[in-house]
């Protein structure tokens, strides 16, 4: 049950056959969240059928309110779940109920939208780096000089805060780059399109758009409808974004990059949780890799990405253990 050295990950073998794991999700209003929930089911349902765990249902709040999610988590504690996996509405607002869960002997694992309560485990990509790498890419493509539009995510969620901080920290290295406008797109194409359309009349020429995922295609549509030239827009692995990129590249050689946390992060969280319950010792902060689509990968990735879905990776138990034990 101890972590092994090298690349040979060591699984914990304690039985989890009678334990129930719940997924508490604060929001399902975009394709990333819907694919995330589907990914969980694709891995958790077979695990239930083969007796790895007793149950692994998902619960999504209706209003994306931290108070509602806290109540949901309290109900899950009372219902006897031995572990709760949480995509949190806030990094701090759920800390009280998470502490209650830990005190009741419940293992709590947060991912994507993480929580800061020390007893919880946290699984995240380096969202700060996700913001910073976009600025570095823009600096390279624009020779260090240009106007950028920033599209942020859902206000108050840790993911939005960290990506934004990465952008604002990194842009200090490039005095010729300037963020001339910022809107919240809520990680949703339709919201992003509306918000970008609303701010465009107040902005000068836009050379690049830095994003958070679920917003690139909406930004492209708004900019096109405004009659403006298409800038460099960072994409977030949505099928409609990748298809748009492929069409733009075919017609005019358009190049960009597409990157985000894979929706299969939920499957990474599932196996971390199962292994914790089985007795494996893990750090409370775990980094998982970003999923990036480069120009050379575009056609192959697009061919296997369903309409309305995202480029994705489902994690196996061994995949997760290799990442965890490598750290």
Quote the tokens at residue 281.
């010792």
Instruction: Give the integer Cα–Cα distance in Å for 236 and 89.
Output: 21
pLDDT of residue 85: 98
Query: What percent of the chain clears pLDDT 90, i.e. is strictly above it?
Result: 91
**Mean pLDDT of all residues in 151-159:** 91
pLDDT at 7: 45
Res. 5: pLDDT tops 50 = no
Residue-wise pLDDT tens digits, 223-248 = 999 999 999 999 999 999 999 999 99
Q: Is the pLDDT of residue 24 over 60?
A: yes
Q: Residue 297 region, left (φ>0) first, then alpha (ψ -120 to 50), else beta?
A: alpha
Contact (Cβ atoms closer than 8 angstroms) between residue 86 and residue 24: yes
- Distance of alpha carbon 157 from alpha carbon 162, whole angstroms: 9
What share of the chain in percent tops pLDDT 70? 97
Looking at residue 172, the DSSP 8-state letter turns out to be G
The backbone torsions φ and ψ at residue 52, rounded to the nearest 5 degrees and listed phi first, read -70, -45
Q: What is the mean pLDDT of the chain?
A: 94
C-alpha closest to that of 263 among 53, 108, 20, 42:
42
**For range 284-313, the mean pLDDT:** 94
Strands (E), 185-298: 208-210, 232-233, 258-260, 285-287, 291-293
Which residue in 130, 137, 117 sits closest to 163, CA to CA? 130
pLDDT at 1 over 50: no
Residue 210's beta-bridge partner residues?
150
Q: Which of 186, 215, 156 is nearest to 28 (CA)?
A: 186
Three-class DSSP category at 83: strand
pLDDT at position 8 over 90 = no
Question: Which residues have CB under 8 Å from 296's CB, separation 6+?
Answer: none
| Alpha carbon 177 to chain centroid, angstroms | 26
Q: Which fold has domain 127-260?
A: Rossmann fold (3.40.50)
Cβ neighbours for 262, distance < 8 A, ≥ 6 positions apart? 237, 290, 291, 310, 311, 312, 313
- Where are the extended beta strands (E) located within 155-312? 177-184, 208-210, 232-233, 258-260, 285-287, 291-293
Instruction: Assess whether pLDDT exceeds 90 at residue 3.
Output: no
Element holding 322 (H helix, E strand): helix 317-326
The residue ranges of every structural domain in the chain are 21-125+262-289+314-326, 127-260
- Residue 153 pLDDT > 80, yes or no? yes
pLDDT value, residue 312 = 96
At 58-94, the pLDDT tens digits run 999 988 899 999 999 999 999 999 999 999 999 999 9
pLDDT digits (tens, 9 = 90+) for 178-196: 999 999 999 999 999 999 9
Give the per-residue pLDDT at 158.
87
CATH fold of the domain at 21-125+262-289+314-326: Rossmann fold (3.40.50)
Pick from 135, 126, 323: nearest CA to 232: 135
As a whole number, mean pLDDT of residues 20-40 equals 95
**Going by C-beta distance under 8 Å and a sequence separation of 6 or more, which residues neighbour residue 253?**
none
Examine the pLDDT at 126 and tell me if it is beyond 70. yes
Residue 85: strand pairing partners: 23, 109
Backbone angles phi, psi at 47, to 5 degrees: -65, -35
* Structure tokens given for 299: 């056609």
Query: Does the pLDDT of residue 298 top 70, yes or no?
Result: yes
């Amino acid at each position: 049950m101890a972590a092994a050295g090298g690349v040979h990950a060591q699984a914990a073998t304690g039985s989890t056959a009678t334990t129930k794991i719940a997924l508490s999700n604060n929001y399902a209003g975009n394709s990333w969240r819907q694919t995330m929930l589907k990914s969980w089911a694709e891995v958790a349902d077979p695990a239930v059928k083969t007796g790895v765990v007793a149950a692994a249902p998902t619960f999504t709040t209706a209003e994306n309110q931290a108070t509602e999610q806290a109540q949901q988590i309290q109900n899950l504690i009372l219902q006897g779940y031995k572990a709760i996996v949480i995509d949190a509405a806030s990094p701090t607002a759920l800390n009280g109920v998470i502490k209650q869960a830990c005190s009741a002997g419940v293992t709590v694992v947060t991912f994507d939208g993480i929580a800061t309560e020390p007893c919880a485990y946290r699984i995240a990509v380096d969202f700060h780096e996700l913001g910073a790498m976009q600025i570095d890419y823009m600096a390279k493509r624009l020779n260090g000089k240009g106007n950028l539009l920033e599209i942020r995510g859902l206000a108050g969620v840790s993911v939005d805060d960290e990506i934004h901080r990465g952008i604002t920290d990194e842009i200090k290295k490039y005095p010729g780059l300037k963020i001339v406008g910022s809107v919240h797109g809520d990680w949703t194409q339709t919201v992003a399109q509306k918000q970008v359309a609303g701010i465009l009349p107040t902005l000068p020429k836009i050379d690049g758009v830095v994003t958070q995922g679920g917003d690139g295609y909406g930004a492209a549509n708004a900019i096109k409808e405004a009659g403006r030239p298409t800038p460099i827009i960072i994409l977030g692995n949505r099928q409609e974004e990748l298809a748009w990129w492929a069409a733009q590249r075919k017609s005019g050689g358009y190049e960009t990059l597409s990157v985000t946390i894979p929706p299969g992060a939920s499957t990474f969280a599932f196996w971390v949780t199962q292994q914790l319950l089985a007795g494996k010792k893990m750090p409370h902060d775990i980094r998982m890799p970003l999923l990036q689509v480069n120009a050379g990968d575009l056609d192959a990735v697009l061919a296997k990405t369903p309409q309305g879905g995202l480029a994705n990776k489902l994690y196996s138990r061994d995949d997760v253990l290799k990442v965890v034990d490598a750290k």
